[in-house]
Structure 1
Amino acid sequence: MNFALSAHIGFRYWRARKANAFASFITFFAVSGILLGVAALIVVSSVMNGLEGQLKQRILGAVPQLTVHSEQALTDWEANVTDLTRLPGVLAATPSISTQAMVQSPSNISAIQVYGIYPEYEKVLEGKMQGMLNTHFGELEAGKYRVILGSELARRLGVSIGDKVRILSVEGVVYSPLGPVPSQRKFVVAGIFEMGSQVDASLAYVHYEDAQRLMRQAPGEIKHLRLYLADPFNAENLNTKVESQFTSHGIKVSTSDWRDTYGHLFSAVKMEKNMMSLMLSLIIAVAAFNIVSALVMMVVDKTTDVAVLKTQGLSTSSVMGLFIFQGSLNAIIGLILGLVIGIGLTLNLNTMMNSVGISILGAGQSLPVQLEWSQMGWIVLGTLVITFCATIYPALRAAKVQPATALRYE
């Protein structure tokens, strides 16, 4: 196939397409459809990526991303931590203990998840919790029975810093003649944090040793390590590697990660993002059908020209290339314009919304936007593939033109 010749003739046909006004009208809508589809796909995908990233930071920055559970106390846990941090994707590992509990104030009661931590080992977590207010983990001291509550939880309980709350643990229950008695202690609110997500209503942090006393466990024993990952979504791939680190030292452990508690939430976000992308991709598919219509009309209009070109020696593959080039050119124009408009709108989305007084998330809040270039590559590739496939049928129809039949009455 002489691609240069096919491209030259196809470009001339593309420039002269105004001879058929209706075909030009359909072509305009095909290019516009691709433009709108690509631009909308970029904007919506970027916003969904931003929302997912913000959700990941606000929730997975406050809860254990991957937890190691040992059946026996870890006698040399610091060495275990050193080995774990050498694994690719693991930022840090710290001792941790958790329990489900009830927290009670003079005015209300609420179910919570209590995490016991060593403040001196939680430097990574402090860096992740950008929304920590009024205090930091250094306020937690062993034996002082201090607690850090989420902002929504503190609001529900009607408490502030310095107030006392009672925490009742489901572990450490003792049985008396009157029945089971839960373990309970009074704690002083030492700080309030705000992550801007649902964890604000369900999490509390206390010192590791205070948590052990609350749960009536042997002091100083460390059976659980919480890991912080460079990408929490990679937790599934790290489970086996983490377990093998302990197995090689003869320690039997099991692992759990954030998917056990928040996996359904992120699965719903992922499904919503995929469905939005699918719906917007249909705009591009409809535009591709318009390309088919425009090319079919062009083939009908240029049947005589194709017959003459065939009599002059133009091969069947070159005839196909002629119309494939013409249809692909329309797709590329729409794609380039869509990329420019889509990226421009994405980068200036909040500025434009503020200028017209639109606030989707509420006053003073901006939409999180995150452009992913790999996603841009898939959008470009998908658009090119769909539009290329749309040009094949009209090109095949043009290639089947018989010169003798087409020129019989000329």
Structure 2
Amino acid sequence: MNLALTARIGWRYWRSRKANAFASFITFFSVLGIVLGVASLIIVSSVMNGLENQLKTRILGSVPQVIVTPSEPTTDWDAFMQQFKGIEGVNAISPLVQTQAMLQSRNQLAGAQVYGIQPQSSQEFHLLQDKLLQGDVSLLQAGEYGVMLGLELARTLQVGVGDKVRLFSGSGVVYSPMGPVPSQRNFRVIGVFKMGSVVDKALAFVHYADGARLMRKPPSQLHSVRLFLDDPFAAEQVTQTIANSAPELVVQDWQQNYGHLFAAVKMEKRMMSLMLSLIVAVAAFNIVSALVMMVMDKSADIAILKTQGMTTTQVMQIFLVQGMLNALIGLVLGGAIGMLIAPNLNQILTGLGVSLLGPGVTLPVLISQTQIGGIVAGTLIISLLATLYPAIKAASIRPAETLRYE
């Protein structure tokens, strides 16, 4: 007796399962459940991956991923920035000043995060140029007091290119007999950008020197730097590396402002995967019922095989083959359906006339081969566990008792 023989017998039993119509009925719906569960897992996880990647690109691509502030402002810009160029994962560095500010137009008032940047930096230039709807990045020059606003922020303030807005900064407060007076200055709107995310309603860019003056800081000094990372999700490791090497520096990353948003997306993705995995689990364990019926139906055959020298392990292998065949069929069909639908999901929804996010808005889809590998492995493990009980029950059959009345 060898594995090839047990596999052959298991295959024959699997093909002959139609002798028991009810067992065939249960098996059919078990396989169908695995198909639907695996396909749903691939499609939903791909959409959730796309959403996470879209947020990563649109939000973390526009806001500072890591900000490093010296204990005291320095005039030796190059020496300070040079110490971060060798850190793994950091691909660019640029000067930065930041402040929370109120922006006042003729008719409206809105709060925003204002970043003072140097647009001649290639990273800063491409960041704004690629997302610009109106205006020109080259107009963002020191002393001109120009400001670039997010699209939703500009709509809230009801302003466009060429209009004036007054910025009030809480970072440059001075105290007078009348009480604290925030720093303020008129800026001219020189551009409107669209990042395609929530930052469009609360983000503004000015020149580094103008931002420093607004905060009543010397523009000749370096107050902080912005690090651009290859992978924004590696911000925590980069922050820890800097903190370990230079504990006197103040290091911040994007998680302090936007970590809750990505944590919510990650939790939602995990919960969706868990719920859909339960579909696969229920379908896989329905195979138990069909296999138990098969064991009862084939008990005499099993007893005869054992009298001819088949071992307990080999009997178990026969029914493991049967159960895993059902799982493999469901897995292959479900994987094929999922891989076919996921990349074409938006076209399919459009063809059906379904718009989940409104007219003109498509679902982001990103297929992860690693996740698909996890789905395949998880389905096979669950199916294997489901077949263990019937296989053990078949192996425990005693030939003498079973064949007594045959």
Residue of structure 2 equivalent to 1:41: 41
What one-letter code is carried by the residue in structure 2 that aligns with 1:363? P
Cα 1:95/1:320, change in 2 over 3 Å: same
* Gap regions ≥5 residues in structure 2: none
Where does 1:297-312 land on structure 2 (aligned, <5 Å)?
Answer: 297-312=293-308
| 387-396 or 347-356, larger mean C-alpha shift | 347-356
Say if 2:151 and 2:201, in contact at 8 Å, map to a contact too. Answer: yes
Residue of structure 2 equivalent to 1:164: 164
Residue of structure 1 equivalent to 2:65: 65
- Summarize deviations over 1:255-311 as a string: whole Å, max 9, x none: 110100010011111111110000100110110111111111111111001000000
- Summarize deviations over 1:378-407 as a string: whole Å, max 9, x none: 000100110000000000000100000000
Say if 1:62 and 1:129, in contact at 8 Å, map to a contact too. Answer: no
Where does 1:290-369 land on structure 2 (aligned, <5 Å)?
Answer: 290-369=286-365
- Summarize deviations over 1:149-172 as a string: whole Å, max 9, x none: 011111011100000000000011
What one-letter code is carried by the residue in structure 2 that aligns with 1:148? M
Say if 1:57 and 1:128, in contact at 8 Å, map to a contact too. Answer: no
Say if 1:40 and 1:342, in contact at 8 Å, map to a contact too. Answer: yes
What one-letter code is carried by the residue in structure 1 that aligns with 2:348? M
> CA–CA distance in 2 between the matches of 1:159 and 1:223?
30
Say if 2:161 and 2:190, in contact at 8 Å, map to a contact too. Answer: yes
SS for the counterpart of 1:393 is helix
Residue of structure 1 equivalent to 2:190: 190
| 132-141 or 268-277, larger mean C-alpha shift | 132-141
Cα 1:136/1:267, change in 2 over 3 Å: farther
SS for the counterpart of 2:112 is strand
Cα 1:375/1:402, change in 2 over 3 Å: same
Residue of structure 1 equivalent to 2:252: 256
What one-letter code is carried by the residue in structure 2 that aligns with 1:71? S
| 357-366 or 394-403, larger mean C-alpha shift | 357-366
- Summarize deviations over 1:164-203 as a string: whole Å, max 9, x none: 0000000111111111111100000000011121111101
Q: Does 1:97 align with 2:106?
A: no
SS for the counterpart of 2:220 is coil
- CA deviation after TM superposition for structure 1 residue 223, in Å: 2.5
Residue of structure 1 equivalent to 2:390: 394
What one-letter code is carried by the residue in structure 1 that aligns with 2:227? L
SS for the counterpart of 2:166 is strand
- Summarize deviations over 1:118-141 as a string: whole Å, max 9, x none: 111152562487432123432211
What one-letter code is carried by the residue in structure 2 that aligns with 1:209? A
| 101-110 or 360-369, larger mean C-alpha shift | 360-369
> CA–CA distance in 2 between the matches of 1:164 and 1:100?
19
SS for the counterpart of 2:195 is coil
- CA deviation after TM superposition for structure 1 residue 3, in Å: 1.6
- CA deviation after TM superposition for structure 1 residue 82, in Å: 3.9
- CA deviation after TM superposition for structure 1 residue 360, in Å: 1.5
Cα 1:319/1:136, change in 2 over 3 Å: farther
Residue of structure 2 equivalent to 1:53: 53
| 127-136 or 281-290, larger mean C-alpha shift | 127-136
> CA–CA distance in 1 between the matches of 2:309 and 2:129?
72
Residue of structure 1 equivalent to 2:372: 376
- CA deviation after TM superposition for structure 1 residue 74, in Å: 3.5
- CA deviation after TM superposition for structure 1 residue 354, in Å: 1.3
Residue of structure 1 equivalent to 2:404: 408
> CA–CA distance in 2 between the matches of 1:122 and 1:137?
12
Say if 1:63 and 1:258, in contact at 8 Å, map to a contact too. Answer: yes
- CA deviation after TM superposition for structure 1 residue 73, in Å: 2.3
Say if 2:85 and 2:91, in contact at 8 Å, map to a contact too. Answer: yes
TM-score (norm 2): 0.97
Residue of structure 2 equivalent to 1:121: 121
How many residues are treated as equivalent by the alignment?
A: 406
Counterpart among 266, 272, 276 of residue 276 in structure 1: 272
What one-letter code is carried by the residue in structure 2 that aligns with 1:356? L
Say if 1:83 and 1:245, in contact at 8 Å, map to a contact too. Answer: no
SS for the counterpart of 1:85 is coil
> CA–CA distance in 2 between the matches of 1:5 and 1:406?
23
Q: Does 1:17 align with 2:17?
A: yes
RMSD: 1.5
